[in-house]
């Protein structure tokens, strides 16, 4: 177990970034067509091919899922992923051609200081192709990578996070998330994470909960643009399992997994959030106890998502000025810049 989404049998993950753009793309590529659905609970979402994921829609499987920066421009990334998949004969067969099914969601990172003067067409299509071409089944970078390269929260640099676990019934569950949250992953300004009660093996610092926190940790609620115009923000994620699920069960998993956003962030599902959670099933292990297995998979998926949120923020870094990017970054510091000397309490 790598404590990553790729622990789920049949899942590959790839990233691509553009340092000058201060943005990027992450892609989840199942090795075979997979059942998927989605739950969109944010008030300002943007996505592609989400309708085909509803249980009553005819499309039975998907070929990839895209989590991209770039706001609406980032939806172009799905076209690049489609191109790579088509070259590999993936997709819905139509005569002699194939139409890859590639749902996508984006986060808003347009005001982070990157060079967004890209001319007529955005670079996200090529970034999507590069991310798909790099996808593999092993370890992949966390923090400032892929779709989370230019992400931020209200008080810290955001990024990409991932986590995994195994249910009591033996089903592997994993999550990947791009944290570009309107609120914060920290309790009362930090350094402790909201997901602390769920932490496994010191994966985000092992700090636990702050001492004497009861009744005080919820003070000082803040969010991006609170004193002016709230900034569009989005946390986008995918929770996957090796269980055999139909689309209705995948929809229920996506809904249940949204609880992980609330466990890992304060606040979520706001009017200026685009919070979107995909669910994906690679169909390696049949359910043995029906609804009981599904309930546990949903609960574990939510926990994995909360842990992945904390890992995204914990692992993120702000590029150094020597890279040519750091001096242009217009966002908050990283967790390590603010709390790098913190030790377990």
Tens digit of each residue's pLDDT (9 = 90 or more) over 246-284: 999 999 999 999 999 999 999 899 888 899 999 999 999
pLDDT at 207: 95
May I ask the CATH architecture of the domain 5-332?
A: 4-Layer Sandwich (3.60)
pLDDT of residue 93: 85
**Span 103-120, mean pLDDT?**
94
Q: Which residue has the higher pLDDT, 211 or 50?
A: 50
How confident is residue 325, by pLDDT bands cut at 50, 70 and 90? low
Q: What is the rounded average pLDDT of the residues 18-33?
A: 96
Nearest to 73 by CA among 126, 13, 37, 27: 126
> pLDDT value at position 16?
98
CB burial of residue 244 (10 Å; 0-12, 13-18, 19+): middle
Note the pLDDT of residue 124: 98
Contact in structure between 238 and 4 (CB atoms under 8 Å): no
pLDDT cut 70: percent of the chain above it: 93
pLDDT average, residue stretch 69-73 = 96
pLDDT grade, residue 212 (50/70/90)? low
Radius of gyration of the chain (CA): 19
Q: Which of 91, 69, 84 is nearest to 21 (CA)?
A: 69
Report whether pLDDT(310) > 80: yes
Instruction: Using the predicted structure, report yes or no on whether residue 7 has a pLDDT greater than 90.
Output: yes
Q: Please indicate whether residue 216 or residue 196 has the higher confidence score (pLDDT).
A: 196
- How much is the pTM? 0.95
């Amino acid at each position: 177990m790598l404590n990553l989404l790729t622990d789920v049998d049949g899942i590959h993950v790839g990233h691509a970034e553009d340092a000058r753009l201060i943005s990027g793309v992450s892609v989840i590529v199942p090795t075979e067509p997979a059942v998927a659905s989605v739950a969109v609970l944010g008030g300002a979402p943007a996505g592609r091919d989400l309708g085909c994921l509803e249980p009553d829609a005819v499309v039975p499987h998907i070929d990839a899922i895209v989590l991209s920066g770039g706001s609406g421009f980032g939806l172009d990334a799905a076209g690049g992923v489609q191109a790579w998949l088509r070259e590999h004969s993936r997709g819905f067969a139509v005569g002699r051609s194939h139409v890859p099914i590639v749902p996508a969601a984006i986060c808003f990172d347009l005001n982070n200081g990157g060079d967004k003067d890209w001319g007529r067409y955005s670079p996200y299509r090529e970034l999507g192709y590069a991310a798909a071409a790099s996808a593999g089944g092993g370890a992949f970078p966390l923090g400032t990578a892929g779709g989370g390269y230019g992400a931020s929260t209200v008080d810290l640099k955001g990024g990409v996070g991932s986590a995994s676990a195994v249910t009591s019934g033996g089903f592997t569950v994993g999550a990947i998330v791009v944290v570009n949250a309107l609120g914060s992953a920290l309790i009362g300004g930090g350094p402790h994470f909201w997901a602390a009660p769920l932490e496994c093996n010191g994966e985000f610092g092992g700090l636990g909960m702050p001492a004497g926190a009861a009744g005080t940790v919820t003070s000082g609620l803040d969010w991006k643009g609170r004193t002016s115009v709230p900034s569009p923000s989005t946390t986008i994620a995918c929770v996957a399992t090796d269980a055999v699920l139909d689309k209705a069960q995948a929809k229920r998993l996506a809904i249940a997994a949204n609880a992980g956003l609330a466990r890992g962030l304060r606040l979520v599902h706001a009017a200026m959030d685009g919070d979107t959670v995909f669910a994906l099933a690679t169909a390696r292990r049949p359910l043995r106890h029906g609804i009981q297995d599904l309930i546990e998979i949903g609960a574990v998926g939510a926990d994995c998502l909360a842990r992945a949120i904390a890992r995204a923020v914990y692992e993120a870094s702000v590029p150094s000025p020597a890279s040519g990017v750091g001096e242009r970054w217009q966002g908050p510091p990283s967790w390590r810049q603010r709390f790098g000397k913190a030790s377990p309490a």
